[in-house]
Amino acid sequence: MKLDELFIEKVMKKVNNYLLRYEPEKALRLLDRELKKHPQAWPLAMKKAIILFEEGEMAEAEQLLLTTREQYPELPVVYFWLARLALEQMQLEKALQYCQTLLELEPFDAVNYVLRAEVYELLERNQEAEGDYTKALELEEKTDLYYRRSYVRFLQKDFEGALADLEEARQAALTDEEKSRVEFGTGVVLAGMGHYDAAERAFNLALELYPDYFAAHEQRAFCRLELEDWEGALEDSEWLLARRPDEDRFWWLKGLALYRLGRVEDALLAAENYLQQHPEDPAAYFNLGLMYEELGELKQATEFYSLALELDPGYAEAYLRRAWSNYQQLELEKARTDLLWWVYTAFSDSDLTTMRARLAEAPGFDEEFLNSVSEQLEMGPPQDKSFLC
């Protein structure tokens, strides 16, 4: 071993000891001292850049990497970390350029293809990401790489390919954590295919292996909603909220499950919590309207449907529910106008005959009233928009 290599190994050992003791400042001071004495010791410069990167000192890390690149333009590791740094800062095109150079210099390292695949994913260039994961797998067969490729195949709706990758990952998985992750991925793909029963079973397997798998609880909850398993969805939402009470989507999930279980007053509390976090979400107001309607508070229900329509004038279901609410309050002209807006919004691409057929299916309204609305369909959408909001 050459003397400079012995020296670098000795310094690196001290640096790593500092890092093991969570003392990055001491590690950086040591590297600074040695680099002043040995400015050509590029491994020390790289180590310093990596520590700066991990400590969030991006500008200083980048400057050091660029200086090292000027001195050693053929050094692959410099481009690897420049790409990582650009990726961290979401400078994706710059990261991609560094990855291209990296792969020109070092085309036989799987890690380099994985890095470029990550950039492609963020650029939503999933086919190219899939290609890079495939190249990485040719160089190094790993469970994680099958899992990653399965995800980009899933995004491209290649569900069979994604499931095939997950089966490969399942065969290669060794730890319970790896096995749990594979079952979770399988559940996501199956849910994407609309196979909610099978997806729930996969999430159950993931949770048997790793009971605190947060994402598995979340995805299982949404599967259970699709399966109309309201108790199960409520159970998952409460588990999620116990750990992340500030996550508004879990309040929405809990509110919906409670509403479907008929626990409307409890659902209102959850829905109002969600609304506080999402005041611009028309669905939040619509859901509150449904709950107040269920409680018989029709005036409040109408107000919430109107708020939903202020935010989204194309919210067809809100017109229908507000029409029903107005109809029950004997606000027949308003109900008639809302039904017309519902038909023209929900079935805008349909002919008049189809619109009339859909109108006749509107639940709850008496036939005479629906006929009076049907007679107005030929006249087109209402000109008076005062009832829109």
Q: Which of 230, 232, 163, 223 is nearest to 194 (CA)?
A: 223
User: In the prediction, which pLDDT does 383 show?
Assistant: 63
Q: How many CB atoms lie within 10 A of CB 25?
A: 11
Q: List the chain domain ranges.
A: 158-222, 246-254+262-388
φ, ψ of residue 48 to 5 degrees: the values are: -65, -45
Q: Which of 249, 248, 256, 220 is nearest to 236 (CA)?
A: 220
CA distance linking residue 99 with residue 105, whole number of Å: 10
Residue with tokens 């309201």: 230
For 246-254+262-388, CATH gives 1.25.40.10
Residue with tokens 């809302």: 338
User: In the prediction, which pLDDT does 3 show?
Assistant: 45
Residue-wise burial string across 317-349, b where 16 or more C-beta atoms lie within 10 A, e elsewhere: ebbbbbbbbbbeeebeebbbbbbbbbbbbbbee
How many C-alpha atoms does 172 have within 13 Å on its Cβ side? 15
Can you give the pLDDT of all 389 residues of the chain as single tens digits? 354 788 899 999 999 999 999 999 999 999 999 999 998 899 999 999 999 999 999 999 999 999 999 999 999 999 999 999 999 999 999 999 999 999 999 999 999 999 999 999 999 999 999 999 999 999 998 989 999 999 999 999 999 999 999 999 999 888 999 999 999 999 999 999 999 999 999 999 999 999 999 999 999 999 999 999 999 999 999 999 999 887 777 887 888 898 889 898 888 888 888 888 788 989 889 988 888 887 788 999 999 999 999 999 999 999 999 999 999 999 999 999 999 999 888 888 888 888 888 888 888 898 899 988 888 887 777 765 544 44
On whether the CB atoms of residues 342 and 316 are closer than 8 A, the answer is yes
CA distance linking residue 233 with residue 388, whole number of Å: 34
Q: Which of 252, 265, 318, 321 is nearest to 291 (CA)?
A: 265
How many C-alpha atoms does 134 have within 13 Å on its Cβ side? 10
